[in-house]
Amino acid sequence: MEGDETPPEDASFGSTDEDVEKEEEGAADVVPAEIEAAAAVKGAPRSAHAQLLAGLRMAREGDSPARRKFWSFRLREAWTRQRREMPLLSSEWLQLCRDLGEEVQTVVEALEAAVGERPTRAQLWLELARWQYEVDEAAVRGTLERALSAAGTVIATGARLWEAVRAFESDVGSTRARQVELWHRQLRTPLRGSEAALARFKAEHPDDASIEDVERWHAGAVRAREERAPHETAVAAAAMARDPAAVAEAFAAYADFEVRKHEPRRATVVWELAIAALDDDDGSSAFDDKRPLERAWEGFARHAVSSLKDAELARRVTARATRSLPGSTSLRVAAVRAVERDPTATVADFDEICRDDATTTTTPNLAVLLARCDAAKRRFLRDDRERLASFFLSAAEAAEDASYEIHRSRVSTCYDDDAARKAAEWKKLLEGDRRIRGNLGAWLDAARDAVADGDLVEARRLHRVATTLAHQARNGRDYARASAAWDRFERDYGTLEDVDAAEHKLFHWRQDMVAPEEPAANVKPEEARKKKKDLGERVARTAYVSKLSLEATEAAVRDVFSACGAIEVCRVLFDKRTGTPKGAAFVEFKETRSVAAAIALDAVALKPVSPDAAPCRVAKSVYAAPPPREGGIVAPPSEPFLPRVFARKRQPSAPKPASKRRRVAIEETARAEPAPAANSSEFEGGDSAAADQQQQGGGAGLTNDAFRAAYFTKPGG
């Protein structure tokens, strides 16, 4: 058998003198430490495991018989580690059986796992039957029947398996009826070389009464084989071209053909062949592009769910898929949904999938956590809201920076019938988590929930805050989205005054957003980076003071905080329209450590700028302090805003000059009629404006009739 040759001896793996026994603590030095370290790394490549196994195998063969048990144990540990990390190839399964030695039960268990992962490999089935034949002859027939269902329908290689099954039945002395039954089943199956099989059957059983039926069955099998010939050719051509994408596409088309032919079980075999072609012995495991293999697993899982309606098969397929490609998000989501479809599944099964995901990535995947939460919501915890909420919270903690989607699902699911609790949860999220506070979608989702619950005041506040944050962040895309949502809300639910106020604020903010502060072309990359760095340093040196006394001046604020360090800028905030104080101030120090000293000030130190009833609060600012004012502290209030409905009446403007067509008509009429006298009756009691126009023009003018003819008559009329 392949691989039975004795491995070459190597002095680096130990002495071959059988009379010398090593100390156990020195045995680990036979295999180089770097080889063991490379195989022990999480996600180590297949080649690292193969190198370690080869070293351990050589050490076992070269050591004394007394020490071979130790090396066999080390070999088994190495195989267990590799099986935990990745699915084994067919050749690796066979080598594992050879390494296990004569432990029949252990070998049988390993081969059962092998045919579960590689069910279309006839060699694995025959090896399993050979080992079972030594201990349980009755179990062999069941194993071979499973082999015929899984690998006996493969057009290219199935005939050899049928031949092996007939040989087994002949060895155990089966009846002639059993042999004939196997021939009938084989000749009904579309296989390569079926013509030779039919001739053999006729030669061995010339007096069989069912020869005509067998010929008819064989003709149907040949027609089925010819129908599948184009797909077999396409698969073979893609495999010869070493193109994994073409291989996956050819097998997908083949499986669709089998489903259309109402042969879903044969489609299952086709998908197994696709997996084997993309991830088994023929070198396909070395493909760098794993996307075709991922698409094949996804197609196999869809087939198990949609065509076969087999929840157990879908769960087995997705479990194998996640072992084959542990970093695939789509396959882990499919695994979660497969577990959800299984009526025997528990919450612990979902936890196991997410725990496996956490071991293969830096942080658990958001899509996997969402699928897990949705499954728990639909399947297990629909009636237990508090337990479901805690389930969502644990998933959000695992998601870290990507936790908002889980929080949104939690709020909408657990508190859909409690408006007050839902509003409180939204407020806690938006005000308590800085990462969610900067997410525009969170504000808009909270506003939509407030509208759905009938709280228009809260919805208006949320829209206003969302638009303000987008404007302050100078994010054009977020601002356009937030302003459009606010404008639509006011048009749908607000009064005319609300609409006017929102439009006024949005108009000025929009102008501020589009107005360039500095020409972008004049800013060099080095200067831009320096500006950004300087801005960050200014923010780090700035303290924000709230609940300030409305009578506090910038001089008083500067005096209070000067004890904490040298002050660069002190700015008390005032309303732009009314000029009244806002009760807040920015204090920018010259050193960053002064901010901590300012935050540590107690109420006694802050008393000069804050009454005892409402002591002011000092916190680290998230914005830089505005520049100091010039020429005074308080600017005069601007003119009060007048809504558009009360806008001033437009002043009359000068008349527009006549168009070229009208000027031509006027000139032609003037040449055709003589100018009237100054005291002509044309102007007596006539239009004084026309008379003034004629007198100012000096020369030829228009009579009323001529004026009407020039301005109100079509050309040529």
Nearest to 253 by CA among 296, 222, 218, 217: 296
pLDDT > 70: what percent of the chain?
70
Alpha helices per DSSP H over 67-157: 68-85, 90-100, 104-117, 122-135, 137-150
CB 681 within 8 A of CB 717: no
Q: Report the alpha-carbon distance of residue 302 to residue 298 in Å, rounded.
A: 6
- Residue 6 in contact with residue 61, Cβ under 8 Å? yes
Contacts within 8 Å (CB) and 24+ apart, 601-610: 601/560, 601/561, 601/564, 605/560, 605/563, 606/560, 608/556, 608/559, 608/560, 609/545, 609/548, 609/549, 609/552, 609/556, 609/557, 609/560, 610/547, 610/548, 610/549, 610/552
pLDDT at residue 222 greater than cutoff 90: yes
Q: What is the Cβ-side half-sphere exposure of residue 516, based on CA atoms within 13 angstroms?
A: 6
Q: How confident is the model at residue 531 (pLDDT cuts 50, 70, 90)?
A: low
Chain centroid to CA 80: 33
**The pLDDT value given to residue 686:** 44
Spatial distance between the Cα atoms of 387 and 484, rounded to a whole number of angstroms: 38
Task: Look up residue 135 and give its two tokens.
Answer: 């201990």
Q: What's the mean pLDDT in 232-246?
A: 91
What confidence tier does 697 reach under pLDDT thresholds 50, 70, 90? very low
412-462 residue pLDDT tens: 666 666 788 778 877 877 877 677 777 788 888 888 888 888 888 988 988
Asked if the model's pLDDT at residue 655 lies above 60, the reply is no
Specify the pLDDT at position 274.
93
- Please state, in angstroms and rounded to a whole number, the distance separating the CA atoms of residues 424 and 419: 9
pLDDT band per the 50, 70, 90 thresholds, residue 232: very high
Give the containing element (helix H, strand E) for 567. strand 567-574
DSSP letter (8 states) at residue 250: H
Residues 127, 96, 43, CA angle at the centre, nearest 5°?
A: 130
Q: Which domains does the chain have, with CATH numbers?
A: 11-205 (1.25.40), 535-640 (3.30.70.330), 660-712 (no CATH)
> Which 3 state secondary structure label does DSSP give 538?
helix
CB-CB contact of 330 with 321 (8 Å): no
For 628, the token pair is 């100091």
**Mean per-residue pLDDT over the chain, rounded:** 76
**Beta pairing partners, 587:** 543, 570
The answer on pLDDT for 361 being more than 90 is: no
Above 60 in pLDDT, residue 7? no
Q: Is the pLDDT of residue 216 over 60?
A: yes
How do residues 468-519 score in pLDDT, each as one tens digit? 888 888 777 888 888 898 888 888 888 888 888 888 888 878 777 665 444 4
